[in-house]
Amino acid sequence: MKKDQLAESTIEVTGRRLRLIAKSVDLDNPKEVTEYLANKQGKNSYIESLANAYYRYAKYNGLYWEQPLIKRSSQPPYIPTTEELTALVSDAGKKYSLILNVLKDTGMRPIEIERTKLKWLDLNRGSINVETAKHGNGRTLKLKDHTLAMLKEYIGKNNFNLNDNIFPKVKTMRRVYTTLRTRTADKIALQGVFAQALVLKGYRDIIG
């Protein structure tokens, strides 16, 4: 997969999903995998992600496999209120409040946040040069004044070199975010709906 220039995060997630499938069936038996996916419990979007992972495995191992068509649910996503989003950010602490605000202002993907280097920031203009995670063209994104002020404070308190990545890895952000979203959901008593909606990638998708 590295030869196809897939992102490290994609390779890692694919491996994790293949290991999950391999606990139940033989990866070298496409028929068993098809039956496994047909009987798998969960959201169609998740089952589709498993199918995509196995498609890569079959392709790279010369196996013929006709990937099943899995229809995603047309149910609209839960849209949190401004009050709920504000509660999430206020509970996050300075570093993760900054990260959430950058996501909100720019629509960056978590992997793009992870890759952000100090030299890509223009603190005078309030912008970030982004190296896209999907092999497309890079882009320059603007930050709101409040987020820019938080970013300047964050950089001022850390001894970053120009080539340093200034934010945590996606794994770390996801782990912290899972704890944060659960704590915030409990605090505002939304009976788990908010917690289910606000996953790390989902936060970017929800706020656009």
Q: pLDDT at position 137, please?
A: 67
91 and 45 part of one domain: no
51 and 91 part of one domain: no
Q: Which residues pair with 13 in a beta bridge?
A: none
Q: pLDDT at position 207, please?
A: 42
50 and 89 part of one domain: no
With b for 16 or more beta-carbon neighbours within 10 A and e for fewer, the 9-36 pattern comes to: bbeeebeebbeebeeebebeebeebbeb
**Terminal C-alpha separation, the chain:** 30
53 and 115 part of one domain: no
Q: pLDDT at position 87, please?
A: 76
110 and 180 part of one domain: yes
* Residue 89 to residue 96: CA distance in whole angstroms: 8
* Residue 71 to residue 69: CA distance in whole angstroms: 6
Q: What is the CATH number of the domain that holds 198?
A: 1.10.443.10
118 and 39 part of one domain: no
Which residues does the chain have with pLDDT short of 70? 1-7, 72-82, 84, 133-137, 188-208
91 and 145 part of one domain: yes
> In the numeric block, which tokens belong to residue 152?
């300047």
Instruction: Give me the amino acid identity at 10.
Output: T
Residue 34 lies in a domain: yes
Residue 172 lies in a domain: yes
How far does Cα 81 stand from its chain's mean position? 21
> In the numeric block, which tokens belong to residue 48?
């589709």
Tell me how many domains the chain contains. 2
Q: pLDDT at position 194, please?
A: 53
Structural domain span for residue 203: 82-207
52 and 93 part of one domain: no
Q: pLDDT at position 92, please?
A: 85
92 near 100, Cβ under 8 Å? yes
Question: What residue ranges in 32-183 does DSSP mark as E strands?
Answer: 121-122, 127-130, 139-142
Residue 103 lies in a domain: yes
